[in-house]
């Protein structure tokens, strides 16, 4: 871990600037080797302020000052070739991203410039950083815990305001605080268990099964609450998947366009379109939504119709919500009935569209067929009903949960798994406390729960888990 690492920290591609980051003991010596600062001189008689390369090509120049951005050139010390015109900064540890000495060189954003500068830095004594290694060092140096490091990944990948906020609060240590709170309550129980087991004859407060049971139940509730937040957390992070279904001409494309007009996500996945379905990223009331238009349902021929229903079944199964559109100005057709069959007992929103043409569809009969569904009347063409759809989506995502901005959400599979294991361990302990089993047995379960929670924040985490977590980073983070 003593060696010095370097990588391009910004995204590859065209951009105004790109940053090469160096971290480790050799960061400053390497910068001094590759960087030629320039002094600002005013040329007499010339109204332009120009930068004059005073001492250019020699070792004379402005000295590097901690945390001050310095203008100059990166020069290959072997060939004396100027590689780029840059701004460089040296930040002395430990108050840096990695808690080590860090150098950042702001180059021009071209891949060519970045590659050349990086290559020179590697030639000058640094090693190419593994993906996520900067953040890993921040973790190993105690600057971030594991949930915070994971939050960095989420921040980088966030596609909506809300997922960004959740990651930011996790980076802030919100989740860690909640976990630590639960752990400290478990620690209290462990201490009193251990004392009672090891020093039964001493004059100590004797543990009662009743109080032990009560305390463990309270702690278990806290864990359950966190696990429950995982579903919402996943949706916040990955998007709420809505499948739009309905026979041809009912208004699916019109609805998709109406929703997209206001809500199209700023950042969209690159391959949004596959052969069979169209997926559009958008945010509705700050919730990331993946809108799936099943092309399979735009069928016309009988043969295609069969495939269409199979395809739509597939996307039904992936969807968090099915948005079924019916033409409200007409009676139900055989096609509608078939799709309704497929929807079955799934969570669904039924849009009775084209209400501007007058209602013919029999709503009562429909409600009986789809008792679990929410009904909305709409005229998509005129923008009617769009707001209600958005409201209902928000309602469904939060399922009556209070939308406190301060609440802790679990967004991470690793974290959920550990919470589930901790819960089951604790429940074993609770069961034994109920049965009045020996304290030694209960102690084992409580201890296990304590350790599992520790793994979430990285306190008892093994090397392999650390590697797994950090391998998910892109290079340079």
278 interacts with Zn ion by CB under 5 A: no
Q: Which tokens hold the place of 62?
A: 């402005």
One symbol per residue from 112 to 151: x for binding ligand GDP (CB under 6 A), - otherwise; what is it? ----------------------------------------
Contacting ligand GDP (CB under 6 A), which of 183, 237, 311, 354?
354
Contacting ligand GDP (CB under 6 A), which of 169, 180, 211, 253?
253
Q: What share of the chain is helix, strand, coil (3-state, %, to 5)?
A: 45, 20, 35
Rounded to whole angstroms, the Cα distance separating 55 from 38 reads 8
Count the residues of the shown chain that bind ligand GDP, applying the rule CB under 6 A.
16
248 interacts with ligand GDP by CB under 6 A: yes
Q: Answer for the pair 221, 258: CB distance below 8 angstroms, yes or no.
A: no
For the purposes of burial, counting CB atoms within 10 Å of the CB of 49, is it exposed (0-12), middle (13-18) or buried (19 or more)?
exposed
At 36, phi and psi to the nearest 5? Answer: -115, 100
Q: Which is nearer to Zn ion, 200 or 248 (CB)?
A: 248
Rounded to whole angstroms, the Cα distance separating 397 from 232 reads 7
From the list ligand GDP, Zn ion, none, pick the one residue 296 interacts with, judged by a Cβ distance below 5 to 8 Å according to partner type: none
Known binding residue 149? Answer is no
From the list Zn ion, ligand GDP, none, pick the one residue 379 interacts with, judged by a Cβ distance below 5 to 8 Å according to partner type: ligand GDP
Rounded to whole angstroms, the Cα distance separating 112 from 220 reads 55
Could you tell me where the DSSP H helices lie in 208-362? 209-238, 252-263, 302-318, 334-343
Rounded to whole angstroms, the Cα distance separating 51 from 87 reads 13
Q: Which is nearer to ligand GDP, 241 or 381 (CB)?
A: 381
Rounded to whole angstroms, the Cα distance separating 159 from 164 reads 7
383 interacts with ligand GDP by CB under 6 A: no
Q: In the chain, count of helices (H) and strands (E)? A: 15, 15
Min dist. Cβ of residue 472 to ligand GDP (A): 38
From the list Zn ion, ligand GDP, none, pick the one residue 156 interacts with, judged by a Cβ distance below 5 to 8 Å according to partner type: none
CB contact set of 114 (below 8 Å; sequence gap of 6+)? 8, 10, 12, 18, 20, 107
> Which residues from 288-317 bind ligand GDP, rule CB under 6 A?
298
From the list Zn ion, ligand GDP, none, pick the one residue 70 interacts with, judged by a Cβ distance below 5 to 8 Å according to partner type: none
Q: Under DSSP, is residue 167 helix (H, G, I), strand (E, B) or coil?
A: helix
Min dist. Cβ of residue 254 to Zn ion (A): 8
Contacting ligand GDP (CB under 6 A), which of 230, 236, 242, 250?
250
Q: Answer for the pair 87, 70: CB distance below 8 angstroms, yes or no.
A: yes
Known binding residue 178? Answer is no
Angle ∠(277,278,281) on CA atoms, nearest 5: 135
From the list ligand GDP, Zn ion, none, pick the one residue 178 interacts with, judged by a Cβ distance below 5 to 8 Å according to partner type: none
Min dist. Cβ of residue 250 to Zn ion (A): 9
From the list ligand GDP, Zn ion, none, pick the one residue 381 interacts with, judged by a Cβ distance below 5 to 8 Å according to partner type: ligand GDP
Closest to 132 measured CA to CA, from 159, 165, 113, 154: 154
Known binding residue 13? Answer is no
Contacting Zn ion (CB under 5 A), which of 253, 330, 384, 431?
253
Contacting ligand GDP (CB under 6 A), which of 381, 414, 448, 472?
381
User: Cβ–Cβ contacts within 10 Å for residue 243, how many?
Assistant: 27
Known binding residue 147? Answer is no
Q: Under DSSP, is residue 363 helix (H, G, I), strand (E, B) or coil?
A: helix
Min dist. Cβ of residue 322 to ligand GDP (A): 15
Binding residues: 21, 104, 143, 249-254, 268-274, 293-296, 477
Binding residues for GTP: 249-254, 268-274, 293-296
Positions in the binding site for Zn ion (CB under 5 A)? 252-253
Positions in the binding site for ligand GDP (CB under 6 A)? 246, 248-254, 298, 353-354, 356-357, 379-381
Binding residues for (6S)-5-formyl-5,6,7,8-tetrahydrofolate: 21, 104, 143, 477
């Amino acid at each position: 871990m003593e060696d010095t690492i370097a990588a391009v920290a910004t995204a590859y591609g065209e951009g105004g600037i790109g940053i090469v980051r160096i971290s480790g003991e050799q960061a400053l010596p390497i910068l001094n080797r590759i960087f030629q600062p320039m002094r600002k001189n005013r040329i007499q008689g010339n109204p332009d302020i120009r930068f004059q390369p005073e001492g250019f090509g020699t070792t004379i120049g402005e000295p590097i000052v901690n945390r001050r951005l310095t203008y100059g050139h990166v020069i290959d010390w072997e060939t004396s070739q100027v590689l780029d015109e840059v701004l460089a900064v040296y930040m002395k540890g430990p108050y840096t991203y990695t808690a080590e000495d860090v150098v950042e060189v702001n180059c021009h954003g071209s891949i060519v410039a970045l590659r050349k500068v990086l290559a020179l830095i590697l030639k000058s004594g640094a090693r190419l950083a593994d993906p996520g290694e900067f953040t890993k060092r921040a973790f190993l140096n105690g600057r971030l815990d594991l949930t915070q490091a994971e939050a960095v990944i989420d921040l980088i990948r966030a596609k909506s305001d809300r997922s960004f906020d959740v990651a930011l609060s996790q980076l802030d240590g919100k989740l860690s605080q909640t976990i630590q709170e639960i752990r400290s309550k478990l620690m209290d129980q462990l201490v009193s268990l251990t004392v009672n087991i090891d020093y039964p004859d001493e004059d100590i407060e004797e543990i009662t099964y009743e109080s032990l049971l009560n305390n463990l139940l309270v702690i278990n509730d806290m864990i359950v609450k966190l696990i429950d937040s995982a579903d919402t957390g996943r949706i916040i992070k990955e998007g709420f998947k809505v499948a739009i279904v309905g026979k041809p001409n009912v208004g699916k494309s019109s609805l998709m366009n109406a929703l997209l007009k206001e809500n199209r996500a700023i950042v969209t996945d690159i391959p949004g379109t596959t052969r069979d379905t169209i997926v559009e990223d958008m945010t509705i009331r700050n919730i990331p939504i993946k809108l799936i238009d099943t092309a399979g349902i735009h069928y016309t021929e009988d043969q295609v119709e069969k495939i269409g229903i199979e395809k739509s079944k597939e996307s039904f199964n992936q969807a968090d919500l099915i948005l079924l559109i019916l033409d409200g100005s007409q009676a139900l057709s055989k096609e509608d009935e078939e799709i309704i069959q497929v929807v079955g007992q799934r969570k669904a929103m039924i849009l009775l569209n084209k209400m501007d043409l007058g209602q013919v569809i029999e709503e009562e009969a429909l409600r009986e067929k789809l008792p679990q569904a929410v009904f909305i009347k709409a005229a998509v063409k005129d923008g009617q009903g769009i707001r209600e759809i958005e409201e209902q989506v928000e309602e469904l995502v939060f399922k009556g949960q209070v939308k406190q901005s301060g609440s802790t959400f679990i967004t991470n599979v690793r974290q959920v798994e550990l919470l589930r294991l901790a819960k089951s361990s604790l429940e074993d302990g609770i069961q034994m406390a109920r049965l009045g089993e020996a304290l030694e047995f209960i102690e084992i379960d409580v201890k296990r729960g304590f350790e599992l929670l520790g793994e979430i924040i990285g306190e008892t985490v093994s090397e392999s888990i650390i590697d797994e977590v950090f391998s998910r980073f892109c290079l340079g983070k």
